[in-house]
Amino acid sequence: MENLLYYPGFEIADENWLKFALLYIDKLKPIIPYNGDKYISDYSQKLYDESDLLEKYRPDYQEAYTATLDAIDVIEKILANPSRYSPVFHSSQIDTIWKNKTKYSNTIFNDKYTDELERFLLKNKLAEKSHEGLDLSRELALLYMTIFAQAISDSKEISPITDLNNLDKFSIFIRHKNQTEKEKFIVAQKIIELKLPEHIEQIPITEILALRAKNDFKAKLKSFHRSLKNFLESDDDNKTSERFIHLHKHIYSEFNNELAQLGLGLASFGVGVWITTHSQESSSQEIAQKFFEGGAFVLSGVAISKSWANTKTKRYCKKYLADLTKLKKA
């Protein structure tokens, strides 16, 4: 299941991205020190109260210290030759932007860094002290939060994620971009977009919250993650969202094929119809029982149970995809 560290801010700015997160991510952990709680909006607090998506991540001193040292190293290199990094910052004078006090629109809370960073930034006139920490330019704040998120990622082995696409360039710049995780996220996003009946912006967040609140949602979501991981690690040369959806259209046929290889088909006993018409997920014992009721004493219940279990992940994944198609627009 996906447990991801959210950065750079306390709250998700893009509502469409938030909707996708509710459909795809198990736990999303914004980096919020204790003194940041009072800045959480009523809207975000409602999400904490009404869904299990968000969980505050409290940074510790060691993570702040590691990020401080890494940031000082990176910033020193940039200050030594600003024009060299113009492809990253789209400016040959990024140091001038960082030092412009009229641009100090962001605050880094003091639990996210140590004294070494404060002394370094103040000495180089890149920040000013404030009640909560350090005020500095948005560009420098985003760079630091990218470094900080990576420090936490390395410490806790949790992948960082952001809804600001332009921060990818910073991840690449500091050589910590997890391309595999990024590609998986993109494919998942496309799969969900293809299965939704409308564009995600037309589907009320209340609809998505209601789906996520269902008792079996997490089991289906877990199967979706497993299926997607298996798909992306497979030998299939066509690792597209369309291909993934196609492979999950014929799950019960796959079960039938497995049984056929064991010497028994579904059609003779009508079990295929029974499987597809039952609304509740059936256990392997129930499947085996149906075969025996039909006179199928040749094949052991163990073999039937194993065949049914082999397709469980894909069947639950198919149910997850089907649930997406039922979401209604406003």
CB under 8 Å to 113, separation ≥6 — which residues? 64, 67, 68, 71, 133, 134, 144, 148
* Phi, psi (degrees; rounded to nearest 5) at 270: 70, 15
Same domain flag for 90 and 238: no
State the residue range of the domain holding 87.
Answer: 1-177
Is 244 in contact with 191 (CB distance < 8 Å)?
yes
Q: Which of 91-105, 275-289, 303-317 has the lowest mean pLDDT?
A: 275-289
Confidence (pLDDT) at 168 = 74
pLDDT in tens, 133-170: 999 999 999 999 999 999 999 999 999 999 998 887 77
Q: Which long-range contacts (CB under 8 A, 24 or more apart) does 86-90 make?
A: 88/169, 88/170, 88/173, 89/139
Domain assignment of residue 149, yes or no: yes
Residue 296: pLDDT above 50?
no
Domain assignment of residue 185, yes or no: no
> How is residue 142 written in tokens?
């985003």
Confidence (pLDDT) at 169 = 75
In angstroms, the CA 202 to CA 58 distance is 34
Same domain flag for 20 and 155: yes
Same domain flag for 293 and 219: yes
C-beta atoms surrounding 207 within 10 Å: 15
Same domain flag for 62 and 17: yes
Q: Which of 22-26, 104-108, 229-233, 301-305 has the lowest mean pLDDT?
A: 301-305
Same domain flag for 212 and 305: yes
Domain assignment of residue 78, yes or no: yes
Same domain flag for 67 and 164: yes
Domain assignment of residue 193, yes or no: no
Domain assignment of residue 6, yes or no: yes
What type of residue is 311? T
Confidence (pLDDT) at 78 = 95
Q: Please work out, in degrees rounded to the nearest 5, the angle formed at the alpha carbon of residue 61 by the alpha carbons of 56 and 66.
A: 105
Domain assignment of residue 71, yes or no: yes
Same domain flag for 251 and 328: yes
Q: How many domains does the chain have?
A: 2
**What predicted TM-score, i.e. pTM, was given to this entire model?**
0.82
Domain assignment of residue 190, yes or no: no
Across the chain, mean pLDDT equals: 85
Domain assignment of residue 187, yes or no: no
